[in-house]
A and B are shown apart, each in its own frame.
Chain A
Amino acid sequence: MALRSLTAVSVLVLMAACSPKVETPAGPVAIMPGPEAAAQLQKALIEAKPGDTVLIGEGTFDFTDGLSLDVDNVKVQGAGQGKTILSFKGQTGAGEGLLITSDKVTVSDFTMQDSKGDGIKSKGSDTISFKNLKVEWTGGPLPTNGAYGVYPVESKNVLIDGVTVSGASDAGIYVGQSDNIIVRNSRAEYNVAGIEIENSSNADVYDNVATHNAGGILVFDLPNLKVMGGHSTRVFRNKIVENDTQNFAPPGNIVANVPTGTGLMLMANKNVHVFENTFDKNKTAHVMVVSYSYEYKDETYNPLPRDFVIRDNTYGEGGNDPQGRLAPLAPALGGALPPIVWDGVTRYGDKSEDIRIVVREKPEVGFVSLGLGSTPIDLAKAKPSPTRQPDADIAEPPAIVLPQDGGV
């Protein structure tokens, strides 16, 4: 075999292979900011072995491409939300800042800024945790910002804990087509939708703050997706207040239809329990329960919200300046919407259902069913009525237990 002299490329590769990340008895050394940091971090994520922690040190790191992790049982950990800043302002490639496609992963303790697409996405992950981290778009709420901040999709055993998202042009914290979910102790502000649970099952959303979004919290079920039939979600002990940012979603996205000033919007879905939340200063309505009222082609889909319990919440000012599709009905209701609004749709196609929307609040808490009857809706057919439905015994889903959070 002929001797080959080392070319410049080979030397660089050799240097990169002698990674500065050296294993010491104390554990891995943190990757520090610098011109090679992006390549070093991606290399560490590729070469991680199950059980490893990839440490990111203090400072600001600049990325032009998205990062990705596909190794099970890895922690990706910064030096702290305010200390490790991952900036994607110069991003030219990939659909997100960090894409995770493996199981038993925890990401924590950093801030991600200005990703061109989504922030941190997990696809198909089993046991994924996002903790003590922030995803933000630093230019404020703009339609050119990425769509989702923290974005587990088709995942299960999802924990979002101590996360802050700001500026997302769709939903800040978005859990899609997933199962067994906790979103807690988190803050969503200046997004279009603060927190969204979509086409998912078995979710607890609690002790969060959703403020200054266009819509605070959404629980949606949509047609024509791989995972359908969202159900069994509890939304409790959240502060859903002052959601007053003008909806800035790019038109064409479903979330662009969330009226500015919505506290909690529940669309389609089954077995959703809303309790002990504080609602205040949501100018359209605090709680909107609606059917999916756009045209669609999907034989398997049920667009109606069924089996909801709304109880023991605190309602402050709101409903005083309703926006959106249902707003033209407000004058007939005295100019404002009451805290709880149901569109009153009980029929779709040739099917009809006995919808149970149970409201267990003090009598002075206003409620209206708009009596729209069938979907797609026609406002001319509205028959508003303040009469609450009879009480019904709808069992509350049990508390979600996750393997990474004290469960087995």
Chain B
Amino acid sequence: MILAADPAPKLSDYGFFTDAGARTPAEGVAPYDLVNALFSDNAAKHRLVYVPKGAAATYNDTDVFDFPVGSVLIKTFAFAPDMRQPRVGERYIETRLLIHKADGWAAYPYIWNAEQTEATYAAVGGKQTIDTITAEGQPLQIAYTIPNRNQCKECHQSDRVLQPIGPKARNLNHVGPAGVDQIADWTRRGILTGVPADHPLAELPRAFDASLPLEGRARAYLDINCAHCHNATGSASNSGLYLGWGEQDPTGWGIHKRPTAAGRGSGELSFVIEPGLPDASILTYRMASKEAGVMMPELGRTVIDDRGVALIREWVASLPPAPGK
């Protein structure tokens, strides 16, 4: 089923869960989470990993782990009427699968029915109106979009090859839903092999932990929300704007960098980041938009991540202005 050429018509066909509502994982399917999650319209996200018995992913210091053929990454997007109590009245909207087939990864979206008993493959994705209250207590109506298969690949690619984004050392390295150090847990379960003992593992700071240094929080936020496209091999490689955690060149991550192909997304501003001046920075301008042709990310959200915008604004404001300004 997992390695079949075509996607199964129903999520339940794969047997990843023992119940119709996919709340109880089957044996070999392990929940996991990331230090920081991509903002997806305030959706709650439930991530699970399946690696075939007897095989394991290979650890990598900086990139996505090398998963064996037959591995599956499962991610369910859910909303509750009040996200301040995310498990109360929670409803599953969609479940996305990344399946490592013999000839490469495949991405399949599944949309849940209103009764929460079944999720059906939807190549062209779909739209749903969702009414909720955010974690900050704000009522919000969301024109939520489930991506189509091509849109999966627009973010999930490197050099035009579809691949996962989340399972990297720096995103996994914390105490996960199992209640223990996640990378050690994956090794213990046989999911992961090759974790080095001779040097510390990368670890991203929690972006919204105000007790941590601002620079690391902001760069961590950009890494998980932007860098899958904004890197030298991603969808936005042509922009020259590289927002990954490992980008060393300040012009590369936007300091006094001129827009490449932003059009009116530049907001009539001159630089991606004008240090000290978030109102003069294209980065914060585009994050604060929800208009097609201006907003960034351009895929994967329809509302603004107010917390994220505030974080990046605070960080830009803290950057020392250029001499003479």
B261: chain A residues at CB < 8 Å are 118, 147-148, 151, 153, 170, 176
Closest beta carbon of chain B to A116's beta carbon, Å: 4
A253 lies within 8 A of B124 (CB): no
A46 lies within 8 A of B122 (CB): no
Interface residues of A in 68-88 (CB under 8 A from B): 68-70
* Complex alpha-carbon distance, A94 and B148, angstroms: 12
For chain A, give the interface size range.
35 or more
B292 lies within 8 A of A297 (CB): no
Given contacts A224-B240, A253-B262, contact A9 B114 (CB under 8 A): yes
Is B260 interfacial (CB 8 A cutoff)? yes
Given contacts A65-B145, A153-B261, A224-B257, contact A252 B266 (CB under 8 A): yes
Is B115 interfacial (CB 8 A cutoff)? yes
Given contacts A46-B148, A92-B143, contact A117 B263 (CB under 8 A): yes
Closest beta carbon of chain A to B288's beta carbon, Å: 16
Minimal Cβ-Cβ distance residue in B for A70: B150
Is B302 interfacial (CB 8 A cutoff)? yes
Given contacts A46-B150, A117-B292, contact A176 B264 (CB under 8 A): no
B235 lies within 8 A of A123 (CB): yes
Query: What's the A-B contact tally at a CB cutoff of 8 Å?
Result: 145
Is A394 interfacial (CB 8 A cutoff)? no
A77-119 CB contact bits vs B (8 Å, 1 = yes)? 0000000000000011111000101000000000000011110
B238 lies within 8 A of A252 (CB): no
Is B270 interfacial (CB 8 A cutoff)? yes
B251: chain A residues at CB < 8 Å are 224, 297-298
B240: chain A residues at CB < 8 Å are 224-226
A70: chain B residues at CB < 8 Å are 150, 153
B160 lies within 8 A of A124 (CB): yes
Closest beta carbon of chain A to B7's beta carbon, Å: 11
Of residues A13, A39, A144, A251, which shows the largest number of chain B Cβ atoms within 10 Å of its Cβ? A13
A69 lies within 8 A of B238 (CB): no
Which A positions have Cβ atoms within 8 angstroms of B?
4, 7-10, 13, 16, 39, 42-43, 45-47, 65, 68-70, 91-95, 99, 101, 115-118, 123-124, 143-148, 151, 153-154, 169-170, 176-177, 222, 224-227, 250-254, 294-295, 297-298
14 A–B contacts, CB within 8 A, in A order = A42-B124, A92-B143, A99-B154, A101-B150, A146-B263, A146-B293, A151-B261, A169-B263, A224-B257, A225-B238, A252-B268, A252-B269, A297-B251, A297-B256
